[in-house]
Amino acid sequence: MVSILLRLGTRGSPLALAQARQTQALLAGLLEIAPERIEIRVIKTSGDMIRDRPLSEVGGKGLFTKEIERALEDGEVDIGVHSSKDMPTILPDGLMLAGFLEREDVRDALIAPGIASFAELPQGAVVGTAALRRQAQVKHLRPDLQTVLFRGNVETRLRKLAEGQADATLLAVAGLKRLGLIAHASAILSEEDFLPAVGQGAICLETRADDGETIRHVAGIDHRDTHLAVTLERAFLAVLDGSCRTPIAGHAVVEGDAIRFRGLILKPDGSQVHEARRSGSVADAEALGRSAGEELRALGGEGFFAG
């Protein structure tokens, strides 16, 4: 009988399980214990059960986290393993983001059989995606393109594409890499054209704020630069009240003790875009994020995201 030291809560998709196993391996190495002593518990979330509508219509990002957070609050798990881009900016009382694993590639990939670049997509081609950010950026760059809803995990979206439900789709490079599916990518899209979602490519670890021992364990595998970058990005998003209801993009990069950031807000139809850039000391990461968010909130004005 294996003695369980820590319990990780995760969604059950292949990508979520890959992220949980990565966390398990890092913690086991840090603590010098067998990986089996860190249990992975699969928790079904509302977001996994709703497949036929955009999440923006049924509650937004929290649909992928609230059941895991409830298990944390109830003491059923010790660490929630999440994709940072799924995390609401306001956490339940008593919970905290204790650490982040080193970030993967933040970019988006185009998957379009026989097509070598986004510019080569034929006039009027159909792009399948569930992300309003991606829809808005597609429309901004190519108003001629059509978009359709593609929900489901990475494998489901690839299957829908193979079935001809769309001519192309966009997926995070990080997820494709973690699943060993990067060969499906037709092209990696530049950040300049397709700025990623806040937190994209970063795995975050959520704990109870009063669980000092678990917090210390997580601190041992926390990646400083990722933590700082995502902290800035989330501060930016919080000012804009961002969720998957609103087309918002943002990415911060840490270089030693300096940090730089670019953020965007877009009309859902891509017809208008506002941009903010910031650079400064990592000590001011949160303040820089808030400042960029306040600039874009003022530029957009009331009702910017209405249509």
Q: Which residues are catalytic?
A: 86
Q: Structure tokens of 280? A: 């400064």
Do the beta carbons of residue 268 and residue 307 sit within 8 Å? yes
Q: Structure tokens of 257? A: 């003790």
Phi and psi (nearest 5°) for 41?
Answer: -110, 125
Query: What is the torsional sign of CA 272, 242, 100, 17?
Result: negative
Comparing CA positions, the residue from 68, 66, 65, 70 lying closest to residue 9 is 68
What separation in angstroms does the CA of 267 have from each of 83, 102, 193, 197, 247?
25, 32, 15, 15, 7
Beta pairing, strands 273-281 & 258-266: antiparallel
Do the beta carbons of residue 69 and residue 208 sit within 8 Å? no
Identify the burial level of 126 via C-beta atoms within 10 angstroms of its C-beta, where 0-12 means exposed, 13-18 middle and 19 or more buried: middle
Q: Structure tokens of 159? A: 């299957």
Comparing CA positions, the residue from 63, 60, 58, 106 lying closest to residue 82 is 63
Sheet with 248-255, side-by-side order of all strands: 248-255, 258-266, 273-281
- Measured from the Cβ of residue 48, the count of other Cβ atoms closer than 10 Å reads 18
Q: Residue 111: which H helix or E strand, with range? A: strand 108-111
Give the span between the Cα atoms of 106 and 128, in whole angstroms: 20
Q: In 3-state terms, the chain is what percent helix, strand and coil (to 5)?
A: 40, 25, 40
